[in-house]
């Protein structure tokens, strides 16, 4: 299959990443089936796409017509069979749990056309382990976007043990068609390139606060202004989702060892369901002023 043969893309999961990936695909001219497990989740994802497109239009990064056309290309769907029956490419962005993702792939395999490529937006999990529950592990790879997808340029394209080179080439072409810059990750390893580097940084920042070395504000001031990151470490944890950072660390600890043990400061936030921007509160309070207001 060539990238020109891709007309319809299913995005499974309408959350933080899924809705953003669907938006990027629709902006690139693809028909998009945005699927989640209930009406509320899928409608919420659709509403977020509408919000984001309006923002881009407000800032003259898109015309109103382009924003309307992109939204028209997104069809919200709950039924999985209907969502994937006639698609050419599937991007899965469901919660970062191996068993949840594998269950989705088992069901997906029953309904997706034989030619469709499966790409997972996992942040860290093994592409190989996910691919092996399907009957098409050679047609399976990682396609890892960054949050927020509409603003972030990079896409990691990750090979599983069984992935065909043509599938990696196709996925890179697709990323380029979406206006992104793909980077190939040749070996399936926890966290791939970016999260292997980035998430331990977030964890170390949390340990500094845990050990009373500095406050959240002080850590964020140095990471933002001195290291040169676009956001402080805690702002970034709120942006990506503290639960996502935790899940990546937990998986990396299991595979790579205790150097990746999630800091209790992160664990407490996950237990309190204060997960960052998406829940309105994480390390900062987004209901009352965002990154200027500690939670
Ligand atoms: N769509 C449209 N507009 C959006 C948006 C979206 N999805 N998200 C935020 N905005 C808007 C904001 O509402 C704000 O609007 P306002 O000005 O009207 O208040 C505006 O964008 C902010 O944009 P600015 O241009 O003023 O701000 P920046 O230039 O600072 O850009 C940023 C914001 C691109 C998010 C930048 O801060 C950044 O690059 N941060 C780092 C993000 C990052 O590193 N992400 C990767 C995390 S790792 C990951 O995702 C992997 C995962 O597996 C864990």
ipTM attached to this prediction: 0.94
195 as an active site residue: the answer is yes
For the chain, the domains span 3-185, 195-294
Distance CA 22, CA 76 (A): 10
Take atom 6 of ligand 1 and give the residue whose Cα is closest.
52
Question: How large is the C-alpha radius of gyration of the chain?
Answer: 19
Helix (H/G/I), strand (E/B), else coil: 102:
helix
38 as an active site residue: the answer is no
pLDDT at 230: 87
Take atom 24 of ligand 1 and give the residue whose Cα is closest.
151
Q: Is the domain defined by 3-185 classed in CATH 3.50.50.60?
A: no
pLDDT at 227: 74
Across the chain, which has 295 residues, the per-10-residue mean pLDDT values are 96 97 98 98 98 96 96 98 97 96 98 98 97 98 97 97 98 98 95 93 95 95 82 94 97 94 97 96 90 71
Instruction: Give the chain as a 3 state SS string.
Output: CCHHHCCEEEEECCCHHHHHHHHHHHHCCCEEEEECCCHHHHHHHHHHHHHHHHHHHHCCCCCHHHHHHHHHCEEEECCHHHHHCCCCEEEECCCCCHHHHHHHHHHHHHHCCCCCEEEECCCCCCHHHHHCCCCCHHHEEEEECCCCCCCCCEEEEEECCCCCHHHHHHHHHHHHHCCCEEEEECCCCCCCCHHHHHHHHHHHHHHHHHCCCCCHHHHHHHHHHHHCCCCCHHHHHHHHCHHHHHHHHHHHHHHHCHHHCCCHHHHHHHHCCCCEHHHCECCEEHHHCEEEEEC
Span from the CA of 148 to the centroid of ligand 1 (angstroms): 6
Distance CA 40, CA 242 (A): 22
Distance CA 266, CA 172 (A): 34
pLDDT at 295: 77
Span from the CA of 129 to the centroid of ligand 1 (angstroms): 32
Taking the model in full, what pTM does it have?
A: 0.91
Span from the CA of 136 to the centroid of ligand 1 (angstroms): 35
162 as an active site residue: the answer is no
Distance CA 30, CA 172 (A): 16
Q: Which of 195, 203, 235, 281 is catalytic?
A: 195
Distance CA 58, CA 64 (A): 8
Is the previous residue joined to 148 through a cis bond, with omega within 30 degrees of 0? Answer: yes
**Residues having CB within 6 Å of any atom of ligand 1:** 20, 52, 55-56, 123, 146-148, 150-152, 195, 198, 230-231, 236, 239-240, 244
Which of the listed residues 19, 49, 148, 233 should we mutate to test ligand 1's pocket, taking the one with most ligand atoms within 8 A of CB? 148
Distance CA 240, CA 187 (A): 24
In this structure, what token pair is assigned to residue 192?
């791939």
Question: Which CATH number is correct for 195-294, 3.20.20.100, 3.20.80.10, 3.30.70.330, 1.10.1040.10?
Answer: 1.10.1040.10
Angle ∠(127,132,167) on CA atoms, nearest 5: 60
Take atom 14 of ligand 1 and give the residue whose Cα is closest.
55
Distance CA 116, CA 112 (A): 7
Q: Which of 144, 162, 172, 203 is catalytic?
A: 144
Take atom 23 of ligand 1 and give the residue whose Cα is closest.
151
């Amino acid at each position: 299959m060539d990238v020109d043969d891709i007309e319809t893309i299913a995005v499974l999961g309408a959350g933080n990443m899924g809705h953003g990936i669907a938006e990027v695909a629709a902006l690139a001219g693809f028909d998009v089936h945005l699927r989640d497990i209930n009406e509320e989740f899928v409608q919420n994802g659709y509403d977020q796409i509408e919000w984001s497109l309006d923002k881009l239009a407000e800032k003259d990064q898109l015309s109103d017509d382009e924003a309307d056309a992109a939204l028209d290309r997104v069809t919200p769907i709950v039924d999985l069979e209907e969502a994937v029956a006639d698609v050419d490419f599937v991007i899965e962005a469901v919660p970062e749990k191996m068993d949840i993702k594998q269950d989705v792939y088992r069901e997906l395999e029953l309904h997706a056309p034989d030619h469709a490529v499966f790409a997972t937006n996992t942040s860290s999990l093994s592409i190989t382990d996910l691919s092996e529950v399907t009957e098409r592990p050679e047609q399976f790879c990682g396609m890892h976007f960054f949050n927020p997808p509409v603003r972030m340029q990079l896409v990691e394209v990750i090979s599983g043990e069984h992935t065909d080179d043509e599938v990696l080439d196709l996925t890179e072409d697709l990323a380029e068609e979406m206006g992104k810059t793909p980077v190939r990750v040749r070996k399936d390893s926890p966290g791939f390139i970016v999260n292997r580097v980035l998430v331990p940084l977030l964890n170390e920042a949390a340990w500094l606060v845990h050990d009373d070395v500095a406050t959240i504000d002080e850590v964020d001031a140095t990471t933002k202004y001195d290291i040169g990151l676009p956001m402080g470490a805690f702002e970034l944890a709120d942006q990506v989702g503290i639960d996502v950072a935790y899940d990546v660390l937990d998986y990396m600890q299991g595979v790579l060892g205790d150097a990746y043990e999630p800091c209790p400061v992160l664990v407490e936030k996950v237990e309190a369901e204060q997960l960052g921007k998406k829940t309105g509160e994480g390390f900062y309070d987004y209901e009352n002023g965002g990154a200027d207001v500690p939670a």
